[in-house]
Structure 1
Amino acid sequence: MKNGKKIKASKIFFDMLVILKNRIKKDLEKKSQVLVGNSSELIIKEIPLNFELLRLISQAIENVTPSLEVRKVRVAGSTYLVPAVLSKKKQETLALKWLIESTKKRQKNSKLDFSTCLADEILDASRKLGQARQKRDELHRLAQMNRAYIRYRWW
């Protein structure tokens, strides 16, 4: 939400849900056609679309959620990047923030509306792709490179 515009934010969110639901329906139809085409005796269980939609969104957020961060610590005149574990709330906040930032970048590069770009970004994040996932991987790589300085951690 920006500047307290709750109605606009909820409209974008619900439009994104409709777009995702349509894309999931198309994907499930394609999979069922492929499975039925290979063997006619195969029985396919219908999974409710709402459940599949929630699973997709939670998977996307989980794939973007970082578990580590780096903090700057000044020791004897030198500044080191020290890896630190994040709290659950900060992990979720960073994940959502990164998804929104990458959606804004995607919208700037294309002529699509924000809800479509958000749906695309969530689909990419659920497949472990996209800019938000790259940001998470970059942060983890930085923490991994600076793991030698973990002894300077005092919190």
Structure 2
Amino acid sequence: MRKAKPKKRIILPDPRYNDVLVTKFVNNIMLEGKKSLAFKIFYDAMDIVASKIGEEENALDVWKKALANVTPSVEVRSRRIGGATFQIPSEIRPARKQSIGMKNLIGFARKRHEKTMGQKLAGEILAAYREEGAAFKKKEDTHRMAEANKAFSHFRF
């Protein structure tokens, strides 16, 4: 590569939980620059999660566990070799892993059929925490696909 790598932007922690990971998640929720609305959605979802699980566990811990449950560790990449396209399983670097997990959780929350986005997100977080739901299924499918194509891992680039 000719150019230098771009600098990593510093992300400030969120006001309620004082956690950088929460801010990254909220940045993924945000549409059209409406960050305060994205924070409101996330905090509403966390309040719903806290009320649903009771106070035996912290809502932030439930969210972190849910995020860990939907974060894939391997993915398949298409590679064309001699006229045939192979799905080659490869490890994912940590930053991308985290990003994929967040985007899956938010994307499948948007597709749910609750009334508000806060309720949808809370439902998906609770489902992911219990290792069920669409985002968790997506991770399982990704891992299953990588397992099925393990024979092509020697083509790794």
Give structure 1 stretches of 5+ with no counterpart: 29-46
Structure 2 equivalent of residue 36 of structure 1: none
1:112-151 matched pairs, under 5 angstroms: 112-151=115-154
Q: Could you tell me how far 1:111 is from its partner in structure 2?
A: 4.5
- The alpha carbon displacement at 1:24 in A equals 2.0
Letter in 2 for 1:11: K
What displacement does 1:22 show? Answer: 1.2
Match of 2:50 in 1: 21
Structure 2: any 5+ residue segments left out of the alignment? 1-29
Displacement of 1:69: 0.5
Which structure is higher in RCO with an 8 Å CA cutoff and minimum separation 6?
Answer: 1
Q: TM-score, normalized by length of structure 2?
A: 0.78
Deviation at 1:21, TM superposition (A): 1.4
Is structure 2 residue 76 aligned with structure 1 residue 73? no
Q: Which has the higher helix share?
A: 1
Equivalent pairs, count: 128
Q: Which secondary structure does the structure 1 equivalent of 2:72 belong to? A: coil
Radius of gyration: which is bigger? 1
Q: In 1, are the aligned partners of 2:74 and 2:143 still within 8 Å (CA)?
A: yes
* Whole-angstrom distance in 2 between the partners of 1:89 and 1:6: 22
Q: Could you say what the CA RMSD is over the residues aligned between the two structures, in angstroms?
A: 1.2
The runs of 4+ residues in structure 1 deviating greater than 2 Å are: none
